[in-house]
Homo-oligomer: A and B are copies of this chain.
Amino acid sequence: MLSFLSDYTEGAHPKVLRRLNELNMISLPGYGEDEYCEEAKRKVKKFCGRDDLQVQFLTGGTQTNLLTISTMLRRYEAVIAAETGHINVHEAGAIEYSGHKVITLPSVNGKVSGDDLEEYMEKFYGDDTHDHMSIPGMVYISHPSELGTLYSKAELKKLSDVCRKYDMPLYMDGARLGYGLVSNESDLTIEDIVELCDVFYIGGTKVGALCGEALVFTKNNMPKGFVTMTKQQGAMLAKGRLVGMQFDALFTDDLYLEISRHAMKCAMELKEAFIRKGYTLYIDSPTNQQFVILSPEQLERLSKIAAFSVWEKIDSEHIAVRFVTSWATKEEDLQELIRNL
């Protein structure tokens, strides 16, 4: 089977795994207090273009979202997200389990619109009964979004402005950040993200690591007691080196972006092939997730040769499906898929 199911179906990029092999028998302190974690943090900061960032390594995306949101919100505050946001749909109610409401705004192609946000905030504080309501305290966005779409710099600026007006941190879930940064259709740089977001994470799990995300606080705003709360949530690895060493490798010699570019090249080639062969796009995605509409017959036929996922049954004749490329996509698999479209 050709592998287009997701960007977490293989292990680690060989260079990442090599790093783990090389350093395996070195004796190091636990809990991420070792020199390789420190070195990886330095490299992540350099990648972000700023020395004064706070970086913490965590294991997975839901864990990172849960810990970040629940430690940055006050007890009576809620997080705002698009209806389609990962925290609202596919994290098993983790945010609510931590005590906080997810307030949803309409999804605009997977994104939160700055105008919608502004309108919501004005209406909220215009309501006399708002102290009997969950107070909006943070905005969550994903970039690339769950639909593969990207915020433009202007869109992110608008969100950031509204957030600052209402003193709410803006948080970007960058599970697939690498794939967003290398997109030809993006005008948003990592430096912009550092400037406009209060906190974001650089995804490793979906971009070449076995596991691991690098959470970045941009305003010296890491919550007091963050390490203790990481432990409290069961999110601290005894062998923190596991994530540190992987990020050390990913941010050496531009590996993170290099492998993202490979995925992007494959995705764009696939998108062009879909269009060329007359398929209808479900959404016009500029990143490594490609969504296309199939007929039941096409679905049956393609399912026999490739692994991909059914996204939504639109009606009896149209099924939206998702094909995902990654650092691990093989050129020959891509060509084989295209031949079979």
Residues of chain B contacted by A205 (CB below 8 angstroms): 238-239
Asked whether, in the complex, the Cβ of B67 is within 8 Å of the Cβ of A93, the reply is no
Stoichiometry (number of copies): 4
Residues of chain B contacted by A65 (CB below 8 angstroms): 234
| A17: interface (CB < 8 Å) | yes
Asked whether, in the complex, the Cβ of A8 is within 8 Å of the Cβ of B238, the reply is yes
Query: Which one of A75, A89, A91 has the greatest number of beta carbons of chain B within 10 Å?
Result: A75
| A199: interface (CB < 8 Å) | no
Chain A interface size, as a band, is 35 or more
Residues of chain B contacted by A63 (CB below 8 angstroms): 234-235
From A49-57, A185-193, A223-231, the one touching the partner chain is A223-231
Expressed in whole angstroms, the Cα–Cα distance for A76 and B230 within the complex equals 10
Q: Which residues of A contact B (CB under 8 A)?
A: 1, 3, 5-6, 8-12, 14, 17, 20-21, 23-30, 59-67, 70-71, 74-78, 89-94, 96-102, 126, 128-129, 131-135, 205-206, 210-211, 224-225, 227-229, 231-239, 241-242, 307, 310, 313, 328
Asked whether, in the complex, the Cβ of B29 is within 8 Å of the Cβ of A9, the reply is yes
A contact face: mostly helix, strand, loop, or mixed: loop
Expressed in whole angstroms, the Cα–Cα distance for A10 and B29 within the complex equals 9
Question: Which residue of chain B has the shortest Cβ distance to A71 in the bound complex?
Answer: B75
Q: In whole Å, how far is A68's beta carbon from the nearest beta carbon of chain B?
A: 10
Asked whether, in the complex, the Cβ of B60 is within 8 Å of the Cβ of A76, the reply is no
Residues of chain B contacted by A92 (CB below 8 angstroms): 76, 131-134, 228-229, 231-232
Asked whether, in the complex, the Cβ of A60 is within 8 Å of the Cβ of B228, the reply is no
Asked whether, in the complex, the Cβ of A133 is within 8 Å of the Cβ of B89, the reply is yes
Asked whether, in the complex, the Cβ of B76 is within 8 Å of the Cβ of A229, the reply is yes
